[in-house]
């Protein structure tokens, strides 16, 4: 007989999980993150295993997903669409493998690994090779008929490949998802219309597929990966999952090329490790790796327990998104005086990293998303690197919360803040603001600028606090005796730092220009300026007209450069850097007469080239007036493809962007140049 405390906790967990399951699957509006949901489900399973008499058919552990929406026709699945058990670590994975091996009475077995796509499960039924029906998983037994919407997805075949021996009827299962770039475009459009942003690509896919109007679904780019055969009527099928997937691919279904057969658990963990690192570079969101036993007779022998197959499991990644409380909106003052708001959060795990702060961009972004102090907010790692606030969970908002307003004074120096019309940022105009000094020097010594190894953020702060430095030139006046006398800085460390400072004097001109902190001048613009002028002194005396004549430099950047050197303090810094021995001239004379055949063109470089290094390829393009970007978009002119290219080559093919080999790139430069000369 179960004790009353266990029953009370089980009832509480079921109530909470049912609520969150409904919010996630039906309303597409989660209140908690995946990791919190998984933790509650694990606890409920453990309690039910110790109290089997309390297990009921309506428990969240005994069903998959949520009931279908009453707005769609109900579909009875001929065979249940199962859920997967989860392995959260190596011990969980080993336990699953050991149980399966014991039931099969074998020591090991081959498995198939593939990425677990974070989308919406779908069952596609074909009759005589024609698409008959598309249905969502629903609760695993009954789903929703979304056939008109499924037909709008271009990667779902309306007819199977002719020439193949087809069963009379066949059902395949897969995952409908929204690509990352399509999700970003959807949210940009919603922002322009003043609509609430969608939390993640999974919700975007679910909401799009479950639109009552198929025309709306058609406007939102969805895609599908087929991951399993559901059932067939007539004909024979292969004996392993690997062969089944190859067969389905031949029939015309989109099967993920990342599917891999492995012989041992080590192969599984290697695959999981690879995907933990590479998943962020794919155009689809994943939340784990699915592992299946390859032999279908083994699968049939193992069967299912509850609604989960014994022959498969999901080896989950740490959550990419989480929900936590926004404790305060703080302000950071940047090197140009811009006031940058950021979120101070209750610590939360996202993608295996503890997040306590996240970017909020600017006041307009905060207002558009209606983010307030005290809100529970959805956090994700943008590019899975920089944490950002996606938006608030409005249902958990304190009714007494108030909208955020930017401060009227600089939080660092107290100077009144200005907000010029047309600019997103509020600014502190005090050039001696301590926060700006710190950020400017931190940028100056960074790897992308003067690359002074050993002079990190903390040491910069200490040197400013102790008034050893106040601006860039002071760095070159530091001595070993000064540094060795500082806390945690011994003689060897001091000597190494002074040596690194001396080495930085010979940095390339483009790096020096980038280091100087000119507003709107980043690395690429600095390279254009270095090639055009060949000297910081020549750059200081240029005009806006001369600057705007350089391809890639517009009126805003030109004005910023001229205004920077109208400030006598900035001119004095250049003089003092020259006196300190910093190289302010290019090693070769400026190439003002270099032909510019690539003006107005955008290039992306991917893969390994034989005749060029990556930096040489990019330099070749830039010297001829082209721009080099890191990702492929519709604005890309060409993608330069070498050996073993990455996903950028696939992006180019998908967007129909022309690809060039190394030889073709050279030929394009010569042909374009010849065309200019003839003109």
Say if CB 499 and CB 455 are below 8 A apart.
no
Total Cβ atoms within 10 A of residue 180:
16
Pick from 95, 108, 197, 217: which is nearest to 154 by CA?
A: 217
Q: For strand 353-359 and strand 338-350, is the pairing parallel, antiparallel, or unpaired? A: antiparallel
DSSP per-residue string spanning 126-145? EETTEEEEEEE-TTSSEEEB
Q: Is 477 a catalytic residue?
A: no
- Asked whether the CA dihedral 293, 296, 300, 301 is positive or negative, the reply is negative
Rounded CA-CA distance 234/586 in Å is 75
Among the listed residues 116, 292, 369, 648, the single catalytic one is 116
Three-state SS for 108? coil
Give CA–CA dist 125/120, Å, rounded: 16
CB contact burial 134-169 (16+ within 10 A = b; e otherwise): bbbbbbbbbbbbbbebbebbeebbeebeeeeebbeb
Residues in the chain: 679
Contacts of 307 (CB under 8 A, 6+ apart): 62, 63, 64, 80, 82, 83, 140
Which of 552, 534, 543 has its CA nearest to residue 629? 552
Q: Rounded to whole angstroms, how far apart are CA atoms 49 and 489? A: 58
Sorted by sequence, the CB contacts under 8 Å of residue 84 that are 6+ apart come out as: 290, 308, 309, 312, 313, 314
Among 47, 60, 57, smallest CA distance to 5 is for 47
Contact 204, 219 (CB under 8 A): no
Q: In this structure, are residues 331 and 411 in contact, taking their beta carbons and an 8 Å threshold? A: yes
Full 3-state SS string of 521-541: CCHHHHHHHHHHHCEHHHHHC
Residue 290 pairs with which residues in a beta bridge?
114, 314
CA 416/CA 597 separation, integer angstroms:
48
CA distance 378 to 389: 6
Active-site residue set: 116
């Amino acid at each position: 007989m179960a004790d009353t405390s266990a029953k009370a906790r089980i009832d509480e967990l079921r109530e909470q999980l049912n609520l969150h399951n409904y919010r996630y699957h039906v309303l597409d509006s989660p209140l908690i993150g995946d990791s919190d949901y998984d933790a509650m489900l694990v606890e409920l399973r453990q309690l039910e295993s110790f109290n089997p008499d309390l297990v009921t058919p309506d428990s969240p552990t005994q069903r998959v997903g949520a009931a279908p929406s009453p707005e769609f026709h109900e579909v009875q699945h001929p065979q249940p669409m199962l859920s997967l058990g989860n392995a959260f670590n190596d011990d969980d994975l080993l336990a699953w493998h050991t149980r399966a091996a014991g039931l099969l009475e074998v020591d090991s077995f081959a498995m198939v690994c593939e990425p677990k796509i974070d989308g919406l499960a779908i069952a596609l039924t074909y009759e005589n090779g024609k698409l008959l029906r598309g249905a969502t998983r629903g609760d695993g037994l009954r789903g929703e008929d979304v056939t008109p919407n499924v037909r709008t997805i271009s990667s779902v075949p309306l007819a199977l490949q002719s020439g193949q021996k087809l069963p009379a009827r066949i059902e395949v299962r897969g995952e409908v998802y929204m690509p990352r770039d399509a999700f970003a475009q959807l949210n940009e459009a919603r922002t322009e219309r003043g609509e609430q942003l969608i939390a993640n690509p999974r919700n975007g896919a679910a909401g799009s597929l479950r639109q009552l109007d198929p025309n709306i679904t058609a406007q939102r780019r969805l895609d599908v990966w087929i991951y399993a055969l559901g059932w067939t009527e007539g004909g024979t099928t292969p004996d392993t999952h690997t062969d089944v997937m190859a067969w389905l691919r031949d029939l015309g279904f989109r099967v993920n090329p990342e599917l891999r057969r492995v012989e041992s658990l080590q192969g599984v963990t290697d695959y999981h490790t690879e995907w933990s690192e590479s998943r962020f570079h794919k155009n689809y969101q994943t939340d784990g790796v699915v592992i299946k036993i390859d032999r279908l007779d083994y699968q049939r022998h193992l069967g299912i327990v509850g609604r989960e197959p014994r022959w498969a499991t999901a080896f989950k990644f740490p959550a990419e998104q989480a929900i936590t409380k926004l404790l305060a909106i703080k302000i950071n003052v940047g090197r140009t005086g811009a006031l940058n708001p950021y979120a101070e959060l209750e610590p939360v795990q996202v993608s295996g990293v503890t997040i306590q702060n996240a970017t909020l961009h600017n006041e307009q972004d905060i207002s558009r998303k209606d983010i307030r102090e005290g809100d529970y907010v959805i956090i994700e790692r943008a590019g899975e690197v920089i944490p950002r606030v996606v938006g608030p969970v409005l249902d958990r908002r304190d009714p007494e919360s108030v909208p955020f307003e930017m401060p009227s004074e600089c939080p660092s120096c107290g100077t009144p803040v200005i907000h010029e019309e047309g600019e997103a940022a509020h600014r502190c105009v005090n050039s001696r603001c301590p926060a700006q000094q710190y950020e400017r020097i931190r940028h100056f010594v960074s790897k992308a600028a003067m690359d002074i190894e050993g002079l990190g953020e903390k040491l910069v702060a200490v040197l400013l606090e102790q008034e050893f430095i106040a601006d860039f030139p002071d760095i070159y006046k530091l001595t070993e005796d000064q540094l060795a006398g500082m806390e945690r800085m011994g003689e060897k460390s001091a000597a190494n730092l002074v040596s690194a400072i001396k080495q930085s004097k010979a940095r390339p001109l483009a790096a020096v220009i980038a280091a100087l902190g000119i507003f709107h001048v980043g690395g690429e613009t600095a390279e254009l300026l270095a090639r055009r002028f060949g000297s910081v002194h020549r750059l200081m005396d240029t005009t806006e007209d001369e600057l705007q004549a350089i391809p890639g430099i517009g009126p805003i950047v030109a004005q910023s450069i001229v205004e920077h050197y109208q400030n006598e303090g900035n001119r004095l810094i250049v003089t003092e850097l020259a006196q300190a021995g910093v190289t302010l001239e290019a090693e070769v004379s400026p190439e003002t007469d270099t032909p510019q055949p690539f003006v107005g063109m955008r290039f992306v470089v991917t893969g390994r080239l034989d005749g060029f290094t990556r930096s040489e390829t990019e330099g070749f393009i830039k010297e001829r007036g082209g721009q080099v970007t890191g990702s492929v978009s519709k604005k890309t002119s060409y993608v330069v493809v070498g050996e073993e290219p990455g996903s950028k080559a696939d992006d180019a093919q998908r967007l129909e962007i022309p690809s060039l080999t190394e030889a073709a790139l050279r030929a394009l430069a010569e042909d374009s140049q010849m065309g200019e000369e003839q003109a």
